[in-house]
Structure 1
Amino acid sequence: MKFGILLDHQYRSGDDINRRTGELVEFTQHIRDLGYDSLFGIHHYLSSLSTPQPLPLLSRLIDHSGTMQIGTGILILPLGHPVHWAEEIATIDQMSGGRFVLGIGAGYREDEFNSFGIDRRTRVSRMNEALECMQKLWTGEKVSHRGKHFELRDVRCSVLPVQKPGPPVWIGANGPIGIKRIARQGHPWLAPSNVRRNWAVGNLADYRAERKAAGHGEEDAVFPIHRDLCVADSFDDAYEIAGTAVRASYGEYVQYGMDYFETQWDGIKHKALFFGSPDDITAKIQDFAQAGYNHFVFRTQWLGLPIERSFQIVERFAREVMPRFRK
């Protein structure tokens, strides 16, 4: 069982990003020393919140991350060209000594696609074709490609990743069609944080069945999931600590058409958040692990929550929950 942290590097407009980055350096050192396995950053452009870009940020954190995997959770692949992404990702994989995990997704925000001049309806095919081109480029051979969205003519990637044939690719999706497509490709499906338990468990079962039917085995397979985590003496105590902040963070999505974070908050609050006592959190992890999940990536930061609280959350989890899952 592996446990990671999703950095929530989103701040109110005008916040001091240099100071916030310093906090993230200290936070990274702390979770490294506590024995966490991975560290991920998020990706958006033109956000309502000030959101530092993940690849420069993760590069800043490499030397403070020890042996943890680092990665994107997720990178919106359709918004960039595969040559750009291939060399950027290969560079950070080299810098990290082969510890990079490429988490990708198709994206959803209209203003991002409109500003890049990309038809949002093409986002899935662009993502898949971009990944195909990147993987060809990472062979080190000359690549020619003529597809629906991209054309390469006898070119070779100037920087290759340490990991062969390339960094592991985790793909996010929130619907059954996308999840089954990822299963057929044989990539890990990165399950989202805000979904209720039965949705997460049921879709993982469907994903695994589709994956098996496509001929992909499960030896060393990774089944990752995002969850919001707050460990306290009880659910009510955890919600007292972080409830206002976590709701504020999810409230930012309403302007992007996700009004269910407002209308269905009570259900999400009780059925999606990993909030509660160490015994509560242990039971939730065991439940999800029994369904097959084996890499939990926790968010312990939310809008307006003092970083000191996040330190306390990761400490208590590492001290009172994590040892129950370490052999």
Structure 2
Amino acid sequence: MKFGVLLDHQYPIGEDIGRRTGELVELTQHVRDLGFDSLFGIHHYLASLSTPQPLPLLSRLLEHTGTMQIGTGILILPLGHPVHWAEEIATIDQMSGGRFVLGIGSGYREDEFSAFGIDRRKRVSRMNESLEVMRKLWTGEPVHHEGQHFQLDGARCSVLPVNEGGPEVWVGANGPIGIKRIAGQGHSWLSPSNVRRNWAVGNLTDYRQHLREAGHDETGMTFPIHRDLCVADSFDDAWRIAGGPVRESYGEYVQYGMDYFDSQWEGIKHKALFFGSPDDIAAKITDFADAGFNHFVFRVQWLGLPIEESMKILERFAHEVMPRFRA
């Protein structure tokens, strides 16, 4: 069982990013020293919140990560060219000694695709072809590729990842068609944070069935999931600490057409958040682990919550919950 942290590096416009990055350095050191297994950054362009880009940020944090895995959770792959991504990812993978996890997704915000001049309707095919091209580039051989979106004539990657074939890939998807596609490709499906327990567990069951049908061996595979985490004395106490900030953070999505976070908020609050006492959180982890999830990536930062409170949440989890799942 592995436990990681998803950095929520989104701030009000005009914030001092240098100071905020310093906070993340301290948080990363804390996460490392508490015994967490991984650390991830998020990715968006042109956001309503000031959102530092994940690869430069992770490079800044790298020397403070110890032996933790680092990665993107997620990188919006269709918004870039696979040659660019291949060399950028290979570089940070080399810098980390092969500890990089490439979490990717197709994206959803219309303003991002419009700004890049990319047809949003083609984002999934563009993501899949990008990853295909990146895999070819990571062989180190000249790549000749004629695809729907990209054409290469003898391109050769100048930097290769540490491990043959490239880093581990997690792919985010919120629907059965996408989840089935990910299983067919043999990649790990990254379950989102905002979905209710039965949806996540049911789709994991379907995903694993699709894996088997496609002939993939799931031995040693990662089955990751994002969750929002607040460990306190009770659910009510956790809500008192972080309820306002988590609600405000989810409210930011509504402006991008995701009305679900408004209309279905009560369901998310009670059936998606990992808020509660150490016993409550341990029970939730056990339930999800019994269903097959084996890498929990927690968000403990939200708009307006002091970084010190985030550290306290991590400390309580590391001291009062994590030991229950360590051999």
Query: Which category describes the TM-score, using the shorter chain as reference length?
Result: over 0.9
State the partner residue of 2:211.
211
Distance in 2 (CA, whole Å) between partners of 1:105 and 1:31 is 25
Q: TM-score normalized by structure 1?
A: 1.00
Partner of 2:174: 174
What are the equivalent positions in structure 2 for 1:59-208 lying under 5 Å apart?
A: 59-208=59-208
Q: What is the letter of the counterpart of residue 89 of structure 1? A: I
Matched letter for residue 275 of structure 1: F
Tell me the equivalent position of 2:325: 325
1:232 corresponds in structure 2 to 232
1:266 aligns with 2:266: yes
1:218, CA displacement in angstroms? 1.6
**Matched residue SS, 2:75:** strand
161-170 vs 48-57, which moves further: 161-170
Q: Which amino acid aligns with 2:197?
A: R
Cα deviation, 1:154-186, whole Å, max 9, x if unaligned, reads 111001111221001100000000000001111
CA deviation after TM superposition for structure 1 residue 264, in Å: 1.2
| Identical residues among aligned pairs (%) | 80
Letter in 1 for 2:231: V
Residue aligning to 1:53: 53
Moved more, 58-67 or 262-271: 262-271
Q: Name the CA distance, whole Å, in 2 between partners of 1:220 and 1:181.
A: 20
Distance 1:77 1:113 in 2: 11
Task: Please say if 1:294 is aligned against 2:284.
Answer: no
Paired residue secondary structure (2:154): strand
Deviation at 1:248, TM superposition (A): 0.4
* Deviation, structure 1 residue 80: 0.2
Query: What RMSD over aligned residues (CA atoms) do the two structures have, in Å?
Result: 0.4
Q: Matches of 1:261 and 1:81 in 2, distance apart?
A: 31
AA at the equivalent of 2:79: L
Q: Distance in 2 between matches of 1:133 and 1:262?
A: 38
Report the secondary structure of 1:262's partner residue: helix
For 2:73, what is the secondary structure of its paired residue? strand
Which residue is equivalent to 1:276? Answer: 276
Q: Secondary structure at the match of 2:229?
A: strand
SS at match of 1:189: strand
- Aligned-partner Cα distance in 2 for 1:121–1:292: 32
Structure 2 CA distance, aligned partners of 1:141 and 1:262? 49
What secondary structure is seen at the aligned counterpart in 1 of 2:14?
coil
Letter matched to residue 237 of structure 1: D
What is the CA–CA distance in structure 1 between the aligned matches of 2:234 and 2:8, rounded to whole Å? 24
Tell me how far 1:265 sits from its aligned partner. Answer: 0.8
Residue by residue over 1:56-94, the C-alpha shift from the partner in whole angstroms, topping out at 9 and shown as x without a partner, is 000001000000000000000000000000000000001
Which region of structure 1 is more displaced relative to structure 2, 258-267 or 295-304?
258-267
In 1: Cα distance, 2:157 partner to 2:186 partner: 25
1:246-296 CA distance string (max 9 Å, x none)? 000000000001112111111110000000000000000000000000000
Look up the SS of the partner of 1:195 in the other structure. coil
Letter in 1 for 2:173: A
Distance 1:73 1:260 in 2: 21
Q: TM-score, normalised by structure 2?
A: 1.00
| Paired residue secondary structure (2:157) | coil
Q: CA offsets, 1:11-53, max 9 Å, x none?
A: 0011111000000000000010000000000000000000000
Note the alpha carbon deviations across 1:118-143, whole angstroms, 9 max, x for none. 00000000000000000000000011
Mapped to 1, the partners of 2:65 and 2:145 lie a distance apart of 37
Q: Which structure 1 segments of 5+ residues have no match?
A: none
- Secondary structure, counterpart of 2:164 in structure 1: coil
Give 3-state SS (helix, strand or coil) of 2:101's partner: strand
